A and B are shown apart, each in its own frame.
Chain A
Amino acid sequence: GNSVTQMEGPVTLSEEAFLTINCTYTATGYPSLFWYVQYPGEGLQLLLKATKADDKGSNKGFEATYRKETTSFHLEKGSVQVSDSAVYFCAPYSGGGADGLTFGKGTHLIIQP
């Protein structure tokens, strides 16, 4: 089955710092790749996605590029804000029902003013 490696943190940064959250995965076939974000007390929300090699997903200033050769999908943002404090999940989806989707354990990000 699929597996995902991402650091759990907490990762603590100052406002306006550069953010990288690494994600590497193993997956069957050619998965679509997702980043989800979970704010306190809420469910997960889709942050961005990429469906094929070298695609770049972007949303709200966050970006991630589908790197097939290194099986990675690292999340970056140039200048983080306090409102970005949340838990971030990397998730490859190989296909089929929900059993084809694997979530990482989540990276807890804390942004200090």
Chain B
Amino acid sequence: NAGVTQTPKFQVLKTGQSMTLQCAQDMNHEYMSWYRQDPGMGLRLIHYSVGAGITDQGEVPNGYNVSRSTTEDFPLRLLSAAPSQTSVYFCASNGGSRSPLHFGNGTRLTVT
């Protein structure tokens, strides 16, 4: 029973590099979302999806892209990494409106 799986767990990038953070869930949840967690800032929503083929921007979308081609996967792409994107990134899924979120264990990203 894997739940929400995020890879990699740790990543170091140089400024300007691109990468994709992977997120997969095996609970057949329609809703998925990406957050970043920074000290003193709490959790901030980056992008979210309410179903395959549907994505929307959250509070802090700049510098990130997402796509949702399948129910299971919701990758987050950093197009040109910047030091301000150093953070811990969490992917989450839930079964619908008002249902509880299930979180992955996070990806700790450092951009130098």
Which A residues contact B (CB, under 8 angstroms)? Answer: 8, 31-32, 34, 36, 41-46, 49, 51, 89, 93, 95-101, 103-106
Contact = CB atoms under 8 A, between A and B. Distances in A.
Interface of B: 4, 31, 33, 40-43, 45, 48-50, 56, 58, 90, 92, 94, 97-98, 100-106
Main secondary structure on chain B at its contact with chain A?
strand
21 contacts: A8-B40, A34-B100, A41-B105, A42-B105, A43-B105, A44-B43, A45-B103, A49-B100, A51-B98, A93-B98, A97-B33, A98-B45, A98-B58, A98-B92, A98-B94, A100-B97, A103-B43, A104-B42, A105-B40, A105-B42, A106-B42
A89 B41 CA distance: 12
A101 B101 contact: yes
B42 A43 contact: no
Contacts of A43: 4, 90, 92, 103-106
Contacts of A98: 31, 33, 45, 48, 58, 92, 94, 101
B112 to A, nearest CB: 22
Given A43-B105, A45-B103, A96 B97 contact: yes
Given A93-B98, A97-B56, A103 B42 contact: yes
A105 to B, nearest CB: 4
A46 B94 CA distance: 11
